[in-house]
Amino acid sequence: MKDDQKPKDYELRYIEMEVRADGDEGERTLVGHAARFNKWSVDLGGFREKIAPGAFSSTIADDDVVGLFNHDPNQVIGRTSADTLELKETSKGLQATYHLPDTQLGRDLWTSVQRGDITGQSFGFVTVADEWKHDEKGNKPSERVLTEVRLFDVSPVTYPAYPDTDVATRAFKSTSTGGEKVKFLSTEEQRDVDLEIETLKVDGGLG
């Protein structure tokens, strides 16, 4: 899935140390939790969030979810419609089992996880339903509970990428301002603004 093919409200979340290599040279599998239930995240920019049990049940039953390496659509390692990716909810969260292909990618990935070079997973999703709770006094971060999501992909990842929270941040600001229509910059737009500010500083246009 190319970036320009992702839904505009596509989000990513990462979990560390939740993937292991099983099997042997005959059948290589990766197993681990890609998401945890009822575990508060770190502060994501004025709010924190957790995932409610059952949030993945509908998408597991209805959607064709792809397993990718590093969220690269050119590196497919499983797919639910092909029974090469199994997703299920456990008491802990969303468990993913990848039945790796007998390809160079599959063999290399299995070995890298077994060696401990790759230690985490992340998942790409769109929020279907969530609940927000705001501290009226502003003394505590707001709280978001994801009650239903639509999965697009799950992925073992090399680096613990910072959560892609642009969409959630916009939702947070919208709910905390009473639904006012406010223009928020995307991450890319913010980088452009920061670069322009730095350029002005160097040229003596600021300060």
| 207 in a structural domain | no
Quick count: other Cβ atoms within 10 Å of Cβ 196?
12
Cβ–Cβ < 8 Å for 125, 151: yes
Residue range of the domain that includes 130: 3-163
Encode pLDDT of 116-133 as tens digits: 888 888 899 999 999 999
- pTM as predicted: 0.72
| 189 in a structural domain | no
Residue 32 has pLDDT above 60, yes or no: yes
- CA 76 – CA 94 distance, rounded (Å): 19
Cβ–Cβ < 8 Å for 24, 94: no
Instruction: Quote the tokens at residue 13.
Output: 């979340």
| 61 in a structural domain | yes
Q: Give the pLDDT band (50/70/90) at residue 149.
A: very high
Residue 79 has pLDDT above 80, yes or no: yes
| 86 in a structural domain | yes
Instruction: Quote the tokens at residue 31.
Output: 């197993």
The CA angle 82-84-89, to the nearest 5 degrees, is: 105
Mean pLDDT for the stretch of residues 81-98: 95
DSSP code for 136: T
Residue with tokens 């609940």, as numbered in its chain: 131
Torsion of CA 117, 123, 124, 125, to 10 degrees: -170
| 186 in a structural domain | no
> SS3 of 74, please?
strand
| 79 in a structural domain | yes
Mean pLDDT for the stretch of residues 52-71: 96
Q: What's the residue count for the chain?
A: 207
Residue with tokens 């802990």, as numbered in its chain: 92
| 200 in a structural domain | no
- CA 78 – CA 99 distance, rounded (Å): 7
Q: Indicate the range of 25-34, 45-54, 114-123, 144-153 predicted with least confidence.
A: 25-34
| 48 in a structural domain | yes
Encode pLDDT of 151-184 as tens digits: 999 999 887 554 543 444 445 555 665 543 333 3
Overall domain count for the chain? 1
Instruction: Quote the tokens at residue 191.
Output: 């980088």
Mean pLDDT for the stretch of residues 59-74: 95
